[in-house]
Structure 1
Amino acid sequence: MYRFLLSWRWAITTLIALLLIPACIKLGFWQLHRHEARVARNNLIGQSLKAAPVAFDSLSTGPGFAVPTDLTWRTVTATGEYDTAHEIVIRRRTAADGSTIGFFVVTPLRLADGRGEVLVNRGWVDSGPDALQYPPVPAAPSGQVTVTGRLRADETHASSGIPDRGGLPDRQFMLINSEQQAKADGTAVLGGYLELASSVPSPAAAPQALPEPEHSDIGPHMAYAIQWWLFAALVPVGLLIMIRREARDRRAGAAVAALAAEPVAEPVP
């Protein structure tokens, strides 16, 4: 009764089912790895934000320094004077509400110890009616200031997915990148940048503050992993149900055919 499994239709169906099982298992592990990466990122951010602040230039060793992953989001401080002549804005950035596109305001801070400058992302401003024009930006504090914020790695196209295109209006850029600014300004800029959280003294007006990174949401990846593994377990069950249903239907059909083939008894006069 199960000889139908030797047909091309059932051979292809079985092959597809056998291929689906390892595919679902692999997709489940892919989601598991995404979950583990998300948890590790959240732990890193949480630990970094709770760590005692350290001097920016004690972590960034100089121009061209690549901020390692384990130092990203570390709370850092820097003391110096803002170099407003080299202030820039970063295009197409989203406000804290997630719905408005504008600019990040990046102002170099000339360190008091003379080691160079630190790029400080002071926050977000609206682009105004014309995104090709330099936007109205609250002035950076004059004189010596001490800023505290989060250490960030230089943005690149590879790390951010943002294309770094040229031909932009004066003092407008697509990425926050210390090497790019060092070349543009001819100054010594320490690698990485500082995402401002507070400043002493506090300015009378400032760009919209950047919120702390979200580090409590682990996302749906573990649930997705479990779903893929359940699919892998259900594939053979579904295949078995289909085979038994086919066999049952064939038995029923054979019984009907046998009944129809039986001779009909003639009535006795």
Structure 2
Amino acid sequence: MRSAYGSHVYRFLLTRQWLITMLIALLLIPATIRLGFWQLHRHEARVARNELIGKALTDPPVPYDSLSPAPGFAVPKDLTWRAVTATGQYDPAHEFVVRKRTDSSGDTIGYFVVTPLKLSDGKGTVLVNRGWVASGATATEYPPVPAAPAGEVTLTGRLRAEETYGASGIKDRAGLPDRQFNLINTDQQAKETGATLLGGYLELAATTPAPADQPQLIPEPNHSDIGPHMAYAIQWWLFTAMIPVGVWILARREAKDRARQAGEPETVTEPVPA
């Protein structure tokens, strides 16, 4: 016959300690479910971004001023990384460098070299990120930069939205050395140069005719890596399943300990999992 104690062995679940434990478990379950969906949405956003970049890079190039037609034009996400062409002459007098940027390996900090290109059709000027160069001897010294090609050139590159603190997290600081900036920003450079700058900028991929020397070109963005977000989502959902199982195991162990201390048989009524 089952002992009277055995039928009531799980009454400890009504104690303050266990009620708090089960309340925490009940709160954790929806939290971990939501965290799983958060990671799932990040995975979906990453996949969508990769598809968008891949399409933008493989579509046939179009003239820059057909996509960024006016000063102040904000480049939308679906046009970012779009392959574009531009023909004109560089304006080396208003060239500048952008501080604290890494080379193609991501290991060495230097500068991006940005040179305005006056379009041959007279529709305006576009900022061209010609690539990366190493730092000079000191942080205040303008770095050695390969000269921009003289004469008319035709460029192929990737359309980029201008940089802002909100989009990049990079703060724009005042008091920097001459022709050094923290951001590639057309509004800022329009004030500096007085030129009519079209919105966004071009990230250089190729030049015709090819120059004898040039900064290190910036590689295409990685659009194949989907990141660990799906794995994280699955982990959170596994945690969700483990919470009631963990509570059940703890309750089972507590019941056995209480039965042993009371001198009762260790076979006790199974609790219903939380």
- TM-score by structure 2 length? 0.92
| Mapped contact 2:71–2:197 kept (Cα < 8 A) | yes
Q: Which residue of 2 aligns with 1:48?
A: 56
Distance in 2 between residues matched to 1:136 and 1:160, nearest whole Å = 26
1:27 aligns with 2:35: yes
1:177 aligns with 2:176: no
CA positional deviation for 1:256: 6.5
| Mapped contact 2:88–2:120 kept (Cα < 8 A) | yes
Q: Which residue of 1 aligns with 2:125?
A: 117
Distance in 2 between residues matched to 1:202 and 1:110, nearest whole Å = 18
Tell me which amino acid in the other structure corresponds to 1:184: E
Matches within 5 A, 1:222-261: 222-255=230-263
Distance in 2 between residues matched to 1:60 and 1:128, nearest whole Å = 34
Matches within 5 A, 1:128-207: 128-207=136-215
| Mapped contact 2:91–2:116 kept (Cα < 8 A) | yes
Distance in 1 between residues matched to 2:264 and 2:150, nearest whole Å = 97
What is the aligned counterpart of 1:70 among 78, 88, 107? 78
Tell me which amino acid in the other structure corresponds to 2:132: W
Distance in 1 between residues matched to 2:264 and 2:86, nearest whole Å = 89
Q: Unmatched 5+ residue regions in structure 2?
A: 1-8, 266-274
Large movers: runs of 4+ above 4 Å: none
Distance in 2 between residues matched to 1:66 and 1:133, nearest whole Å = 33
SS at match of 1:255: coil
Tell me which amino acid in the other structure corresponds to 2:169: G
Tell me which amino acid in the other structure corresponds to 1:124: W
Distance in 2 between residues matched to 1:228 and 1:128, nearest whole Å = 48
Distance in 1 between residues matched to 2:41 and 2:51, nearest whole Å = 15
SS at match of 2:122: coil
Kindly report the root-mean-square deviation, in angstroms, between the aligned alpha carbons of the 2 structures: 1.0
Q: Which residue of 1 aligns with 2:5?
A: none
Q: How many residues align?
A: 257
Q: Which residue of 1 aligns with 2:44?
A: 36
Structure with larger Rg = 1
Q: Which residue of 1 aligns with 2:224?
A: 216
SS at match of 1:23: helix
Distance in 2 between residues matched to 1:38 and 1:118, nearest whole Å = 29
Q: Which residue of 1 aligns with 2:98?
A: 90
Any idea what the Cα deviations from partners look like across 1:186-223, whole Å, max 9, x if unmatched? 11000000000000011100001110100000000000
Tell me which amino acid in the other structure corresponds to 2:41: H
Any idea what the Cα deviations from partners look like across 1:69-120, whole Å, max 9, x if unmatched? 0000000000000011100000000111111100000000000011110000
SS at match of 2:226: coil
Distance in 2 between residues matched to 1:128 and 1:65, nearest whole Å = 34
Q: Which residue of 2 aligns with 1:81?
A: 89
Distance in 2 between residues matched to 1:183 and 1:128, nearest whole Å = 26
Question: Relative to 1, partners in 2 of residues 1:2 and 1:256: Cα closer, same or farther, differing over 3 Å?
Answer: closer
| Mapped contact 2:136–2:142 kept (Cα < 8 A) | no
What's the % identity of the aligned pairs? 69
Distance in 2 between residues matched to 1:127 and 1:18, nearest whole Å = 55
- TM-score by structure 1 length? 0.94
Distance in 2 between residues matched to 1:45 and 1:95, nearest whole Å = 21
CA positional deviation for 1:128: 2.2
CA positional deviation for 1:57: 0.1
Distance in 2 between residues matched to 1:10 and 1:59, nearest whole Å = 63
Q: Which residue of 1 aligns with 2:271?
A: none
Distance in 1 between residues matched to 2:15 and 2:213, nearest whole Å = 78
Q: Unmatched 5+ residue regions in structure 1?
A: 258-269
Distance in 1 between residues matched to 2:264 and 2:197, nearest whole Å = 88
